[in-house]
Amino acid sequence: MLNQKIREVIAQFRRELPPELSALIEQGAGEISALDISERALGAGAIAPVFSLANQNGQPRTLADYLARGPVVLTFYRGIWCPYCNLQIHEYAQRLDEIRSAGAQLVALSPEKPQAMEIYLANGVDESLLAGAPENVPFDILHDERNAVARAFGLVFTLPESHRRLLSMLKVDVVAANGDDSFAFPDPATYVIAPNGVIAWAFVPNNYRRRAEVEHIIKAVHGLVA
């Protein structure tokens, strides 16, 4: 299970990271979880905001085009600097056939530019921090510039100062990688959207260390196509 893998990484960090880094991680995690993101985010029954964005290959994509082909699984993530995001993208890529067999398309959105890896390395990030970044992802990853779509879904929060300090210590320049100095990021929500544009299922964790399990996504999709 994806969240079990995440818990194992959290435990590893707590064992192995220097106390100063671990303290900043835990402080920021608590501050983010105290926000009211899940209360203000769009939920089941709402109309999904339309969008037109470019994928990782620079090709234009619209929600309308996806919905014309059937239900859409739409997931938001922060970027390749986030180990939990990388675990999620790997898990979804490995199980993409299951999602497609259920009758849905999978689409991910991130505020990070497609060139983020090059930007991070040019700014001196230790390559080991990005070792888990997925390559050749077999589904569309759309660049949600300045979190425009995430904002329309009510998912955006400002990274707390504790995590800004942490990223600075690790030389992770998210301002350059996102082209945005607001330090705004989406809660890692996942939605199942019906072909008529109505949100059928919503997972809004208000916690960046929790992600939607593929089993739950598939169950929601089955409810639409049964």
Three-state secondary structure string covering the chain: CHHHHHHHHHHHHHHHCCHHHHHHHHHHHHHHHCCCHHHHCCCCCCECCCCEEECCCCCEEEHHHHHCCCCEEEEECCCCCCHHHHHHHHHHHHCHHHHHHHCCEEEEEECCCCCHHHHHHHCCCCHHHHCCCCCCCCCEEEECHHHHHHHHCCCEEECCHHHHHHHHHCCCCHHHHHCCCCCEEECCCEEEECCCCEEEEEECCCCCCCCCCHHHHHHHHHHHHC
- What's the mean pLDDT in 5-11? 96
Task: Indicate the number of domains in the chain.
Answer: 1
Distance CA 101, CA 160 (A): 40
Is the pLDDT at 207 greater than 80? The verdict is: yes
Is the pLDDT at 73 greater than 90? The verdict is: yes
Is the pLDDT at 226 greater than 60? The verdict is: no
Per-residue pLDDT at 174: 97
User: Which tokens sit at 5?
Assistant: 């893998």
Q: Are strands 190-193 and 199-203 parallel, antiparallel or unpaired?
A: antiparallel
The tens digit of pLDDT for each residue in 143-193 reads: 999 999 999 999 999 999 999 999 999 999 999 999 999 999 999 999 999
- CATH number where 74 lies: 3.40.30.10
Structural domain containing residue 64: 2-225
**Number of Cβ atoms within 10 Å of the Cβ of 74:** 24
The tens digit of pLDDT for each residue in 90-128 reads: 999 999 999 999 999 999 999 999 999 999 999 999 998
